[in-house]
């Protein structure tokens, strides 16, 4: 059994990790930390876990995280990098759901997250946890920087276009128009996520610059092996879970004869958690709710030169906790889908 610790188990990604790991056949939940909730049974805070999680929250200094095989950090940015070196020295693997190990360029991290990086050496060895792109590196990794929810949808949505031996689209003008449910902002009290503020409303934000832009650009350039240009506009929609990303790319004249539906189907053939839908499909966020599945539909309106890719995922599962479990399975030699085959919830 894999002994698992979770640092920061009181947020939305934390409770999603608990939901998934409590039902994982190869996992023993060993420690769940929260300084504020020290001693409180997890099921008292999250009644959905009654009968499934018997642990109580414990302050970090009481948690014995060094006795774990792997520790997940479902914490604000900056926490994992402060604790990772000590855990790694004790032989514990680390999976960070925040941004501490996503951006390889320390200067970029410090620019976008407004804090110095505490362990550049650990950052250097960290593997970006997108299994459909970095599967073999993840198997050998000690520390994982898990992708953000928006970057997961954008990178997997654009990947088949960029991973070819030749350029198929204008890679200097990729556009991502993305919408997220309110849970993407985390479980904290902020005015813009209040019911009276977020309900019956729809808005863009971060148009000038969003911290997921450099992460996504870094990932797409790694897939392409060359520089790309990306415009990313996120939006907040009045729903709890889900991301819908509409991606645009202009087809180059020399690629007009490409069957892009077939290209996507071939690229993701055999991928358990990526579903390339039939031509003409319009995937809905509710079709992936509470699952680790990401669905993609490829459109070429009127047979023209603009390619439109629709991508949906659950921001808390494939966009966070589920992808973390997917990486854990790879790191410990398990079947990648172990504990992650839940059917989406409908309605």
Q: Is residue 309 part of a domain?
A: yes
CA distances 95 to 43, 90, 177, 207, Å, are: 24, 15, 28, 29
CB 164 within 8 A of CB 248: no
The closest of 67, 52, 145 to 106, measured between CA atoms, is: 145
Active site residue ranges = 149
Using CA atoms, how far apart are residues 339 and 333, in angstroms rounded to an integer? 14
Q: Are residues 119 and 210 in the same domain?
A: no
Helices 149-162 and 212-224 cross at an angle (nearest 10°) of 20
**CATH number of the domain that 25 lies in?**
3.40.50.720
Task: Work out the angle between the directed axes of helices 212-224 and 106-113 (0-180°, nearest 10).
Answer: 150
Q: Do 280 and 155 fall into the same domain?
A: yes
* Domain match, 239 and 167 both: yes
H-run or E-run covering 29: strand 27-33
Please give the order of strands across the beta sheet that includes 274-276.
203-204, 230-236, 174-180, 243-250, 306-313, 294-299, 274-276
Same domain, 237 and 117: no
pLDDT at residue number 191: 87
Q: Please, what are the averages of pLDDT over each run of 10 residues along the chain (347 residues)?
A: 95 96 97 93 96 94 94 96 97 98 96 95 97 98 98 98 95 98 87 88 94 97 97 97 98 98 98 98 98 98 97 98 98 98 95
Tens of pLDDT, residue by residue over 147-158, are 999 999 999 999
Residues 172 and 264 grouped into a single domain: yes
Using a CB cutoff of 8 Å and minimum separation of 24, what contacts does 135-138 make?
135/330, 135/336, 138/327, 138/330, 138/331
What is the span of the domain harbouring residue 107?
A: 2-125
Give the distance, in angstroms, between the CA of residue 178 and the centroid of all CA atoms in the same chain. Answer: 14
The pLDDT assigned to 195 comes to 87
Residues 42, 91 within the same domain = yes
- Name 249's bridge partners: 307
In a domain, 330, yes or no: no
Same domain, 157 and 290: yes
In this structure, what are the phi and psi dihedrals at residue 10, rounded to the nearest 5 degrees? -105, -5
- Shared domain for 115 and 223, answered yes or no, is no
Tokens of 198: 């977020």
Q: Are residues 160 and 276 in the same domain?
A: yes
- Let me know whether 178 and 281 are in one domain: yes
The DSSP-derived string for 294-328 is EEEEEE-GGG-SEEEEEEEE-TTIIIIIHHHHHHH
Residue 139 within a domain: no
* pTM of the predicted protein model: 0.96
The residue from 55, 90, 125 where one domain ends is: 125
* pLDDT tens profile 92-147: 999 999 999 999 999 999 999 999 999 999 999 999 999 999 999 999 999 999 99
| Number of structural domains the chain divides into | 2
The answer to the question of residue 337 being in a domain is no
- Residue 98 and residue 149 in contact, taking contact as beta carbons nearer than 8 Å: no
Residue 328: φ, ψ to 5°: -55, -45
Contact status, residue 157 vs residue 216, Cβ threshold 8 Å = no
Q: Does a structural domain hold residue 306?
A: yes
Give the integer Cα–Cα distance in Å for 28 and 324: 16
- Rounded Cα distance between 45 and 24, Å, is 21
Q: 313 phi and psi, to 5 degrees?
A: -155, 160
- Residue 324 falls inside a structural domain: no
Distance in angstroms (rounded) separating the CA atoms of residues 308 and 277: 14
In a domain, 223, yes or no: yes
Both 33 and 120 in one domain: the answer is yes
Q: Domain containing 174 — which CATH number?
A: 3.30.360.10
Kind of pairing between the strands at 93-96 and 70-73 = parallel
Distance from C-alpha of 157 to C-alpha of 277, rounded to nearest angstrom: 12
User: Quick one: 211 and 301 in the same domain?
Assistant: yes
Could you tell me if residue 112 is inside a domain?
yes
Predicted pLDDT at 99: 97
pLDDT of residue 114: 94
């Amino acid at each position: 059994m894999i002994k698992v610790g979770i640092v920061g188990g009181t947020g939305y990604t934390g409770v999603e990790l608990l939901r998934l790991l409590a039902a994982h056949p190869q996992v023993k939940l060993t420690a769940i930390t929260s300084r504020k909730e020290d001693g409180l049974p997890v099921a008292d805070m999250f009644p959905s876990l009654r009968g499934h999680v018997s642990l109580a929250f414990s302050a970090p200094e009481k948690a014995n995280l060094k006795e774990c095989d792997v520790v997940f950090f479902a914490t604000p940015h900056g926490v994992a990098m402060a604790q990772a070196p000590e855990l790694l020295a004790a032989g514990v693997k680390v999976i960070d759901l925040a941004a501490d190990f996503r951006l390889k360029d320390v200067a970029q991290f410090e620019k976008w997250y407004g804090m110095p990086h505490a362990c550049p050496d650990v950052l250097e060895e960290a593997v970006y946890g997108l299994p459909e792109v970095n599967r073999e590196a993840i198997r050998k990794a000690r520390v994982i920087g898990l992708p953000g929810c928006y970057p997961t949808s954008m990178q997997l949505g654009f990947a088949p276009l960029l991973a070819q031996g030749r350029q198929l689209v204008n890679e200097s003008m990729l556009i991502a128009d993305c919408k997220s449910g309110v849970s993407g902002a985390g479980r904290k009290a902020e005015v813009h996520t209040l019911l009276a503020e977020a309900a019956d409303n729809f808005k863009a934000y971060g148009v000038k610059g969003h911290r997921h832009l450099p992460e996504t650009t870094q990932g797409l350039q790694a897939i392409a092996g060359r520089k790309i240009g990306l415009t990313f506009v996120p939006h907040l929609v009045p729903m709890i879970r889900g991301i819908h990303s509409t991606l645009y790319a202009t087809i180059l004249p020399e690629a007009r004869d490409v069957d892009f539906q077939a290209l996507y189907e071939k690229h993701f053939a055999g991928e358990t958690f990526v579903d390339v839908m039939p031509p003409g499909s319009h995937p809905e966020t509710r079709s992936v709710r509470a699952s680790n599945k990401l669905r993609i539909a490829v459109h070429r309106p009127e047979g023209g030169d603009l390619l439109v890719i629709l991508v949906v995922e659950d921001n808390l599962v494939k966009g966070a906790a589920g992808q973390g479990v997917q990486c854990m399975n790879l790191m410990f030699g398990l079947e990648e889908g172990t504990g992650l085959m839940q059917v989406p919830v409908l309605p």
